[in-house]
Amino acid sequence: MLTALVAGNSMATTPPSPIWHPITLSDGSNSEAILRGTADFHWFEDKQGNALIQEDGVWFFAQIQRNSDIPELLSTGIE
């Protein structure tokens, strides 16, 4: 049982895999994004370093906002 607890904790701190994922933009063009962040807060980022968020199958530029100690990823509404 202790092994399961230790393994669970180590997985929670594992950073995202550094693999580029293909994404399709709303204009039909293709791009790539990589997952960044931690287990608690993560986002996709394009090759230019822009944070991206997907809402209802559409990719938007995103902004990271911090109103308290917890960061939040918000869509800018710009595709």
Q: Indicate the domain borders of the chain.
A: 15-75
Residue 58: DSSP 8-state: E
User: How far are the Cα atoms of 42, 46, 69 from residue 79, in angstroms, in the given order?
Assistant: 19, 13, 28
Whether 55 shows a pLDDT value over 80: the answer reads yes
pTM: 0.72
pLDDT band at 39 (very low <50, low <70, confident <90, very high): confident
